[in-house]
Every structure is written in C-alpha cells, then in structure tokens.
Amino acid sequence: MGKYNGKVVVLDFWASPYAMRTKIALREKGVEFEVQEEDLWNKSELLLKSNPVHKKVPVLIHKDKPISESLVQVQYIDETWTDTASFFPSDPQARATARFWSDFADKTISFEGGKKIWGNTKGEEQEKGKKEFLESMKILETELGDKSYFGGETFGYVDITLVPFYSWFYALEKCGDFSVETECPKIVAWGKRCVERDSVAATLPESEKVYQQVLKLRQIFGVE
C-alpha cells in the first residue's frame, strides 16, 4: 500500500451511497483525495486486501492504512481533520442523539432495503419494500421537523449518513411507482437544501444516471 505515499484515497463505486458519505465528509473538511473506481464484479486486489472481511467499498486509505465501513470513516475524518467544524454537536447528549439517528437511518434506509423495491416487479414483495422504506422515511421526517438539517442549522453527521440516498429516490420512484415528495415533502426539501452545499453537489450523481444503473442491475438479477 506504500504506493500512495500518504495520500488520501477512496476505493469507490460511483453509485454507492456508502462511498458518497466518505467523499462528502472529506469535501466538507476540505481534504484533497484521490478516487480509485472499483469494478464490483471484478474487485481489485487492493480492495480485497484493504477490506478482507467485507470486501466492499468504500475503503478510505490514509497514511497507507485502510479504514473500512463508511460511518467509521466519517467519524475518522471528523477526528483527524479538526481545523474545521465537527460533524457532531459539542453537547454529549446531542452527540448521542446524532449517533442514534444516524444508526437508525443506516439500518433502515439501505441498499438492501431499496433492493426490495427495484429488485422486484409489482407485487407483494415490492409493496412490502415500499411500505418499510416510507415508514422509516416518515420517522426520519418527524425527527427532522422544521429544522434546516437534522442537527438544527448545522449540516452534520446524520445528514451525511442519509443524503446519499437522495440520489436514489428517483430510481426507487420509477421502479416502485410512487413519489417520495408526496409522502415525505420535508425530506425532499431537506435533500434539495443539502444539494446546495458544494460537498454534496460534487458527490451525488445525477438521478437519471443512478436510474440507468438500477436498470442494469435489474437485468443482472433477472427482474422482468
């Protein structure tokens, strides 16, 4: 791994919402980094060596040492580059609250959860996936309330956790024939607000591009 000479590198797949978290966090901190795009059907030796347990992106390489798991990486980035504002509030109780909601979002709004929608044709399984997705989104919307961001006026840890999935909303809507904005208007307004930030705008792919990727995945998984 010494080939990177201490550079910050992200082993990435452009459509991965998890890798988006890492890139948003680095950009929020003003950290320069390189991206190595991975072919998830033909993973590089570097990825397999860097993340031997899960063999998944993202991997953050810093000082030639790999760090796995996106939320672990976001916390590492926050603790390593301290010249800018923390992703967490200073109050311990507020920090605990942020960790709770980030954990909730991570467990309930996920690639696997989305796959229940895009990975099924219309029917019982897809309806179940939509129901689970929207129920979780409505809980998050209640927590967001009328705040600008989940932490109040400051873009932070929970926002970084959730906002990458905003780029997947269109694909889920197209495959599942529903509207996130109709069901959760405050979440969509929050997503639009987040995209106004340079870090998010530079990271999130176009929704149509994600949808085209989902169509390819549906072909791979044999979804008619």
Residues in the chain where the model's pLDDT stays below 50: 1
**In the numeric block, which tokens belong to residue 141?**
């919307």
Cβ(159)–Cβ(198) under 8 Å? no
Cβ(132)–Cβ(108) under 8 Å? yes
**In the numeric block, which tokens belong to residue 18?**
């998890």
Spans of all domains in the chain: 8-80, 92-221
Per-residue pLDDT at 4: 57
Does the structural domain 92-221 have CATH classification 3.90.1150.10?
no
Strand partners, 34: 9
Distance CA 59, CA 57 (A): 5
Per-residue pLDDT at 1: 45
Q: Which SS3 state, helix, strand or coil, does residue 106 take?
A: helix
Residue 141's CB is within 10 A of a number of other CB atoms, namely: 18
Distance CA 130, CA 135 (A): 8
Per-residue pLDDT at 6: 72
Closest-CA residue to 17 (of 219, 218, 205): 205
What is the tens place of the pLDDT at every residue in 118-159?
A: 999 999 999 999 999 999 999 999 999 999 999 999 999 999
Beta-carbon contacts of 84 under 8 Å, excluding residues fewer than 6 positions away, are: 28, 29, 30
Cβ(63)–Cβ(102) under 8 Å? no
Stated pTM of the model: 0.96
Tell me how far the alpha carbon of residue 56 is from its chain's centroid.
14
Beta-carbon contacts of 212 under 8 Å, excluding residues fewer than 6 positions away, are: none
Q: Which SS3 state, helix, strand or coil, does residue 27 take?
A: helix
Q: What strand order describes the sheet that includes 59-62?
A: 34-37, 9-12, 59-62, 65-68
Closest-CA residue to 163 (of 224, 74, 55, 81): 74
Indicate the CATH number for domain 8-80.
Answer: 3.40.30.10
Cβ(116)–Cβ(126) under 8 Å? yes
